[in-house]
Chain A
Amino acid sequence: MWRMLRQIARIGLATEPPPPAAPEVQTALHGDIRRVFGRALCIRHVDAGSCNGCELEIHALSNPYYNLEGQGIRFVASPRHADALLVTGPVSRHMAEALRRTYAATPEPKLVIAVGDCGACGGVFGESYASLGRVANVIPVDVTVPGCPPSPLALLQGILSAVRQKSP
């Protein structure tokens, strides 16, 4: 146990300030999130057919540098608990129904953020016998975050702008 405590003390706080454009955004964000959703922003990730690259950067959002939970944003296990869906990948035809059902299970008001070049426009996979292309071809999308994969900062900014867009 003391080894762990010593390691924690030695490393200290790694969390960095949020995106450069964000000091004022951050204060406003907490207000926006509270106004729109009345509590912390709960996100449900749905992989609709990605290469798994975007997932790696979504994971990174939870590392101590970005400290997503410190921003009042957290990932939840069910769409029924979620305010926003973070959808990755081109939508494979085999995932289309699961995506539609996940969207239907998410209570209003809800946000959909399409992640990555694939989510935004179909990416290298495009549309084919097996792929329906961009997420907006299957469910309504509020914000897209392009990138292959988008960096955690780009993801964070995408989430913030989605919340602001919904803010009255």
Chain B
Amino acid sequence: MKRTMPFPDLAIAWHPLAGELPAVHAIVSATQLVLVCRRIREEGGRLVSLWGEDRRTDGNGYRLCVMLQTSDGLLVMEQTMPSDQPAYPDLSRLFPSAARLQRAVYDLVGLRAMGGDERPWLRHSSWPADAYPLRAEAMVSATPEVPAETYRFIQVAGEGVHEIAVGPVHAGTIESGHFRFSVVGEKMLRLEERLGYKHKGIEKRFEGMTLTEGVRLAARVSGDSTIAYAWAYSMAAEALTGTRTPARALTLRALLLERERIANHLGDLGALGNDAGLAFGLTQFSRLKEDLLRVNASLWGARYPMDAIVPGGVRTDLSPDGPRQLLTSMAALEHELHVLRDIYDNHAGVQDRFMDAGCVTAELARRLGMVGLAARASGQTQDWRVDLAMPPYDGLTLEPAVHAHGDVAARVAVRFDETTASLRVCRDLLATMPQSTLCEPLGEVRAGALGIGGVEGWRGPVVVALRANVNGSIARCHPHDPSWHNWPAIEHAIIDNIVPDFPLINKSFNLSYSGHDL
């Protein structure tokens, strides 16, 4: 992170944010917000997250918070707005993925993006249009269900065009959401996603919890990324309390995060083979995933160690035999992975389905502001483990796994590459495991300040923004899933593909519904 503050000509009072992440923060006007966003867009920077806050109770009115990533690190801007007319400039023209985030901000906090899409996004029928759950005066318990408004899908006209409506209950064991396809014959002309079905009020639920209690909820924002969320949340809590995380705890967290990445990649590689007609792939990879989960159960006491990370450190240490067990199982996994990759690569039927399916070009990925695994499969060199290089990743040699073609085959290849790389990272972490305490008590909470945390989860950057009350309880917690930036890309990826390829294409992204719907 450069110590010079960005854009000196704009006279913005930046100050560094406390904590592990290289970030600067400023209160800005609407004009400054747009100017900074435009410049960062031109420089090739990205939108990381966007959320709203009601800070009228501590005299700060409404706030729109925007987090951006540049080559130097992160920028967080807060735009204040008057209480009687809470509005801010539409940023979706600069960052397309802002569009749905802005709609969610309106649904939850009632802050309007001027000139943006005004259709509701997360609000279906749980609360009326003039109530905003994240406002201070908002209802805490359920209001009577309001009649669901008809959602205005964009219609495609033309001879022979018809619609296929799928969901929210899907045919497989997957999360709930709705897809509206406009098709001609078997060819897909357009897909419109309708999400928000799984909205269960997570951000409201955080309010009033202690920083220590909050991690249990954070770890359940998206179950397949439980380590990423628990770590990001804990990092934010540690930033807010000036707590120094012990080095050994950071290494153990990274070990868990890499194992989470491997487990998800193995599951996806099996499912993708299956979706391409190779049931053999599912059988083989699901066996490997099960082996990994059983080692987790033996070393962390849970197949999915949802409560292993706590603010201040980690709950448990590795047993003395742990490293040996990990190394043995990883060596076996690496061998199997090699055999299976060879089989996938040389299977004509599988490659025929993978190649050129669901293509997102590098140019489109850049324009849409895609992140994480799917972005890397479309030629975008980005990975927070490398870009931000926070401990313990700063001491490791790691390259983002990038493929250029942007199709299902590329997303499969990235998963293979990353699994192999993560196995190496795990070995490096075990070889350099520092000796220290496991957990430090949290320091004093800085009320009203912003604490941010973020890590590169298996899908992409998982970010948590946290603010505390004077009594130390949570005033606002905003967890941000990388899926927000990649869901819109699927709508592009499917164009001109055939309907039967949709499950394969969708799976190759494997985005979160729960982490998005909150």
State the CA gap A11–B192 with chains docked (Å): 43
Q: Given contacts A64-B286, A95-B176, is CB(A125)–CB(B205) below 8 Å?
A: yes
State the CA gap A126–B217 with chains docked (Å): 11
B287 touches A130 (CB 8 A): no
Q: How many residues of A contact B (CB 8 A)?
A: 53
Binary CB contact string for chain A from 140 to 162 against chain B (1 if under 8 A, 0 otherwise): 00000000110100000000000
Task: For residue A43, give the distance in angstroms from its CB to the closest CB of chain B.
Answer: 9
Chain A residue with the shortest CB-CB distance to B143: A129
A134 near B: Cβ within 8 Å? no
- Interfacial chain B residues near A73, Cβ < 8 Å: none
A131 touches B171 (CB 8 A): no
Contact of A47 among B174, B267, B293, B304 (CB under 8 A): B174
A130 touches B204 (CB 8 A): yes
State the CA gap A106–B329 with chains docked (Å): 43
B175 touches A47 (CB 8 A): yes
- Interfacial chain A residues near B217, Cβ < 8 Å: 124-125
B205 touches A48 (CB 8 A): no
Most B CB contacts (10 A, CB to CB) among A51, A54, A62, A95 go to: A51
Q: Given contacts A57-B303, A95-B197, is CB(A50)–CB(B289) below 8 Å?
A: no
- Interfacial chain A residues near B85, Cβ < 8 Å: none
Contact of B200 among A58, A78, A131 (CB under 8 A): A131
A94 touches B124 (CB 8 A): yes
A49 touches B200 (CB 8 A): yes
Task: For residue A146, give the distance in angstroms from its CB to the closest CB of chain B.
Answer: 14
A52 touches B512 (CB 8 A): yes
B223 touches A130 (CB 8 A): no
- Interfacial chain B residues near A50, Cβ < 8 Å: 175, 198, 223, 514
A51 touches B176 (CB 8 A): no
Most B CB contacts (10 A, CB to CB) among A47, A58, A62 go to: A47
A22 near B: Cβ within 8 Å? no
State the CA gap A95–B125 with chains docked (Å): 10
Q: Given contacts A3-B346, A57-B303, is CB(A98)–CB(B168) below 8 Å?
A: yes
State the CA gap A59–B199 with chains docked (Å): 23
Q: Give how many A-B residue pairs fall within 8 Å (CB-CB).
A: 170
A14 near B: Cβ within 8 Å? yes
Binary CB contact string for chain A from 93 to 137 against chain B (1 if under 8 A, 0 otherwise): 111111000100000000000000000000111111111100000
A75 near B: Cβ within 8 Å? yes
Interface of chain A, main secondary structure: mixed
A129 touches B127 (CB 8 A): yes
A129 touches B142 (CB 8 A): yes
State the CA gap A46–B174 with chains docked (Å): 8
A63 touches B514 (CB 8 A): no
B205 touches A124 (CB 8 A): yes
B79 near A: Cβ within 8 Å? no
A128 touches B124 (CB 8 A): no
- Interfacial chain B residues near A54, Cβ < 8 Å: 223
- Interfacial chain B residues near A63, Cβ < 8 Å: 283, 286-287, 289-290
A95 touches B343 (CB 8 A): no
State the CA gap A15–B287 with chains docked (Å): 10
Chain B residue with the shortest CB-CB distance to A60: B290
Report B's interface with A, CB cutoff 8 A. Answer: 124-127, 133, 138-143, 145, 148, 168-169, 171-176, 196-202, 204-205, 216-217, 220-224, 226, 267, 280, 283-284, 286-287, 289-290, 293, 297, 303-304, 306, 339-340, 342-343, 346, 512-514, 517
Q: Could you name 24 residue pairs across A and B whose Cβ atoms are closer than 8 Å?
A: A45-B172, A47-B176, A48-B176, A49-B176, A49-B197, A49-B514, A50-B223, A50-B514, A51-B514, A56-B304, A60-B289, A63-B289, A65-B290, A75-B172, A79-B169, A90-B200, A92-B126, A92-B200, A94-B125, A125-B220, A126-B205, A128-B141, A129-B140, A130-B201
Taking A50-B175, A50-B223 as known contacts, 18 extra A-B pairs with beta carbons closer than 8 A to each other, sorted by chain A number, are: A8-B280, A47-B175, A51-B514, A52-B223, A53-B304, A53-B306, A57-B303, A59-B267, A59-B286, A63-B289, A64-B283, A89-B200, A93-B142, A95-B176, A125-B217, A125-B220, A128-B140, A131-B201
